[in-house]
A and B are shown apart, each in its own frame.
Chain A
Amino acid sequence: MAVTGRASTARASTARASTARASRSSGASLAGLLPTTVVGSYPVPEWLERLKTDYYQRRISAQHLNEIHEVAIKAALKDQELTGLDIVSDGELRRDNDIDYLLTRIPGIDIPHRAKTDYYDYYDAALSRPLPEPKDAGLGLGLAADFAFTREQTQRPIKFSFTGPFSLSRRVRNTAYADPADLVRGLARWLNAEAHALVAAGADLLQIDEPFLAGYPEAVQLAIEAVNIVTEGVDATWALHVCYGNRYARPLWEGHYDFLFPAVLAARIDQLVLEFARKGPGDLQLFGQHAWDRQVGLGVIDVKSADVESADLVASRIRRALEFVPAERLVVNPDCGLRHLPADVARAKLRAMVAGAAQVRKEQRSGQHPGRSANTDGSAAAAGQARSPGNTEPAD
């Protein structure tokens, strides 16, 4: 059986519920050795930005915008398939930004002014009374429907991402909870309910994004506690993405990932998705230092630069990571979402990423192991072949 994926990554020290997972392949494991994927967002063309803004200025209807989104998502999926990605996403193209798409759907969050000068702007959101419990409200956040549409459009494995409770909480003016941590927990319960709905709709690889966490390293324990609330009882492969910010293609913070450890070891997740292309490989050693034995989503593409990496450069970054993480636990992805890149640049970067991963995959299978012992499992690769037409190499 595959040594990638959630079945193999359940640590005895974590409380992850893994019994139901063991019998079913999912997400990364389906894609074979060194599967390639995106973090979530895909380039938003200028025309789409204009139309989104038109919607927020009441110039086009929600119905028209929804149809536009569906066309754009289909195109984004096709783009990803053509670049050879193993695991695709809907590009988060329906979302105005990483925060408001969710906050506007959570009952109790007050957003007094819903028109926007630009669709990407953040709302001014407030909460004056504690959030209702999701089971009381009886409403979903609509992400499951988003996933269901995407599922209908592609045969490839899908990663579905959403912003995590800690980052969401940072954009809410809270007068409802005396302890701000309770707001984080309340938001986490809503996301947990939605995660259950996503799995019911067929999602099996879910990712929590925490773009603001790096700016508040002192809050990492709370953030991980909230992540565990989100993942509680949800039978999926869970990824956690922590970056240094990508709003307006600009890092919000600087620093190192050491703040994540050891707290993140207690997270009920299967994969940690981090940025290494822009920041360099320095923090890779943390995985060894802290005995991280689950998957790593390795950022090999700098999404803040329009310079297209070569396949060789991508391969060298993967090889460097292999010194710290075995191949069967590596997933290859960009540093963060691609939304700020021109579409042609993003496609070129993804093609380079796929080609770079293929180089290293080939080396691994031919026994040239520049890094740690890979100990690849042929059955996992074969399973990947079944649903991953982009991964065209022989399984073994």
Chain B
Amino acid sequence: MHIDVRPVARLRGPNPVNVPAALEPLFVALSDAPVDPARLRVVCDWIQYRNNFCGPVECRPVLAERPGEHGRLGEQGRLGEHSQGGPAWAALDSLEIGIDLRRSGDVELAALVKEALAATADAAIPTGMVLEPWVPASESCIWRFNTLYWQALSRWEQATGREYEQALPGGESDARNTEAVHEMILELFRVWDELDARHALPQELYIVELGVGNGGQARTWLDAFAALDRGHGRDYYRRLHYLMGDYSAHVLDRARQTVAHHGDHVNGLVLDATRPLLTLGFLRGKAFCVYISNVYDNLPTDEVASIGGRPYLVEVQAYLREDEAAAIAGRHRVPAGTLAPLIERLLRLGPDLLAEAAPDAFADVGHAVALWRDVWAALCLRERYVPLEGLDAYRLSPSLTGEILRPLLGHGGDIRMHASNGALASFEGTLPLLHPFGRLLCHDLFLTEPAQYHCGFFGPGKYDGSVVNWVNGPLLQLIGNRRGYEVQIAPFTARPGSNIKTLTAQVRD
């Protein structure tokens, strides 16, 4: 039996986490459970997000084969009918029991473990209201909720009474930190002065920002640039083109208004941050800075794992617990059986159109937003590990196979980590935009070493109405290096103690 205690930093200090208190009821529950202890893995985490997708106890089957192969597992990937008489264990490499140490002291842990084991072992019919089939995490409907959040941001903000920036750790985007902005602009001036001295400075000076939010970041940057340029005396502002990219036209319009006083120096482009070259291909090799703040942690990601030396993909299934689903249906006066289709319509239409399309169910848009918020708050993910035939058979991004994960997954024993697919695609697509003397600058939640995955939980969590996952920094470094870029991740100096890190990438060799 393998027991993995991850939040090791919390084992000491003024309020240490009580691991024995969590393990004792676990062993009580296991004493008469129909499971093979030799193939049990217990993973104790500290899930720092108050709003997240899992309960205090979760069971995660580690499948021996891919679902559907050799007819050993049904599509649901649960033990189901195979559990009769125990053959279901033949379909598993092992079973992982996840315990959230932050909540374990507040619940009847032994009962929850028994309940979770029973639900895993017994179930031709899965528990709860299932919202999707088993999928890689990046394809889960949680990302449709995430998209909805950004598309209908103003509705969410109206309902909560606060702007999204207030939900960020520092109460504002890190890109608006003026000290960091000044530092970056002065460095640009230094590079441009050098190029100019060699008659190698292009006439057009491009700066790109991906994910512009309300335009506050762009405004801070451009105002600072104009002021610093006046002092610098080289009239770079005249040659400056600041391109704002966002996938929401609505957000771009708002950002344009914020920087309207910079006139033609600013342009907005609707784009997908995970495929920047589709829109910005004309800038290949021309951008002196690509600026991305708090975007990568909000892009779809899978999780991959190495267990016993074998690679696995984490598959998830979104669902609502039965009692939660019943409560939501009752609160919104819809028959319980229509809730799942209604959620699907919400994700497809958004709250405005849904209210319009179903006036009997929603008196106004506010009621549709209330449903949205209720479902989001109750949304859970169950997980399972599905074996990968080979890392090269897993597509990490359009141009990369999972083979590049090998040095990270081979890092000291069992490990589970984010593939950061969206961030990776964005990163890969952004690097070619850089001028040979250009730089990618990114403020985000980055892990800096693979070993950190042994010591903590890094998502997914719910951040307001959006999804957050820490970004696999070592993977981005690896890929940047393979593309000929020096990639560094350093603490965000402008806000000491913050979890935010600064990633920079620039050409090497």
Contact = CB atoms under 8 A, between A and B. Distances in A.
B483 A248 contact: yes
Contact of A248 (B392, B401, B403, B484): B484
List the 10 closest pairs (A to B, CB-CB), nearest first: A248-B484, A248-B483, A46-B403, A247-B484, A122-B509, A247-B509, A250-B484, A46-B392, A50-B403, A118-B482
Contacts of B481: 117-118, 121
B493 to A, nearest CB: 27
B406 interface: yes
B283 to A, nearest CB: 15
Given A50-B403, A248-B483, A250-B484, 13 more contacts: A46-B401, A46-B403, A117-B481, A118-B482, A120-B482, A121-B481, A247-B484, A247-B509, A248-B484, A250-B432, A250-B483, A251-B285, A252-B436
A55 to B, nearest CB: 15
Nearest to B401: A46
Nearest to B481: A118
Contacts of B285: 251
Nearest to A255: B200
Interface residues of A, number: 13
Interface string B278-297: 00000001000000000000
A247 B481 CA distance: 12
Interface string A311-335: 0000000000000000000000000
Contacts of B432: 250
Interface in B361-417: 392, 401, 403, 406
B450 to A, nearest CB: 13
Of B401, B406, B507, B509, chain A has the most CB atoms within 10 Å of the CB of: B509
Contacts of B483: 248, 250
A257 B483 CA distance: 26
A240 to B, nearest CB: 22
Nearest to B403: A46
B53 to A, nearest CB: 34
A117 B408 CA distance: 12
Interface of A: 46-47, 50, 117-118, 120-122, 247-248, 250-252
11 contacts: A46-B392, A46-B403, A47-B392, A118-B482, A121-B481, A122-B509, A247-B509, A250-B432, A250-B483, A251-B285, A252-B436
A50 B401 CA distance: 12
A337 B484 CA distance: 17
A252 B509 CA distance: 9
Contacts of A121: 481
Nearest to A120: B482
A94 to B, nearest CB: 20
Interface string B469-509: 00000000000011110000000000000000000000101
Contacts of A248: 482-484
A251 B509 CA distance: 12
Interface in B422-437: 432, 436
A50 B484 contact: no
A247 B483 CA distance: 9
A50 B406 contact: yes
Contacts of B403: 46, 50
A50 B403 CA distance: 8
Nearest to B484: A248
Contacts of B406: 50
Interface string B51-93: 0000000000000000000000000000000000000000000
Contacts of A46: 392, 401, 403
A300 B120 CA distance: 61
Nearest to B482: A118
A117 B436 CA distance: 24
A120 B483 CA distance: 10
A30 B285 CA distance: 41
A46 B396 CA distance: 14
A256 B483 CA distance: 25
Nearest to A97: B509
A239 B395 CA distance: 41
A251 B484 CA distance: 11
A122 B508 CA distance: 11
Contacts of A117: 481
Nearest to B432: A250
Contacts of B401: 46
Contacts of A247: 484, 509
Nearest to B485: A248
A120 B404 CA distance: 14
B29 to A, nearest CB: 43
